[in-house]
Amino acid sequence: MPTAALHHMIVPVTDRDAAVAWFVDLLELREPWPDGFFCSVQLDDSIVLNFAAAPAVEPLHLAFLIGEEHFDRIRARFDADGTPYTADPPGRRPGEVGEVNPDGSGRRLYFRGPDGHLLEVLTARYTDVPAGSAAG
């Protein structure tokens, strides 16, 4: 039984409104709401992204589990508008789709979002998780 779950995460961005609009559009998220210093977006029933304006940003890595059809829409959009993507975090496989699991199940793409955040969309949970872990 897990002892902790992620509730929210602060995502620093230099242009909060533009970044929120970009994430909401690409990830097909619910409408954002002002939350004091933040502009917040609900990812699912438990996790919230709190976007905060910052003068400078150190890029984060965020990975989003999405459905197969949504993945296809994102990839088609990137192919149409020229957004670069890669199958691996270091970018050694540009324009390719990566596999999530050693058995080839699941697909993933890495790409840069607002302020250089390294983003990932994937269509499957990990299957090669050590015994006793709740990540699978």
Domain boundaries, the chain: 6-58, 59-131
pLDDT at 136: 47
> 78 is written with which tokens?
């990137």
pLDDT in tens, 43-86: 988 899 999 999 999 999 999 999 999 999 999 999 999 999 99
Q: Chain-centre distance of CA 15, in angstroms?
A: 18
pLDDT of residue 94 exceeding 50: yes
* CA torsion, ordered 84, 90, 96, 101, to nearest 10 deg: -130
pLDDT at 44: 86
The percent of residues above 90 in pLDDT, for the chain, comes to 82
CB 7 within 8 A of CB 48: yes
Q: Are strands 107-112 and 118-122 parallel, antiparallel or unpaired?
A: antiparallel
DSSP summary character for residue 130: P
User: pLDDT class for 20, splitting at 50, 70, 90?
Assistant: very high
User: pLDDT class for 130, splitting at 50, 70, 90?
Assistant: low
CA–CA separation, 45 and 113 (whole Å): 23
CATH architecture of 6-58: Roll (3.10)
pLDDT at 134: 53
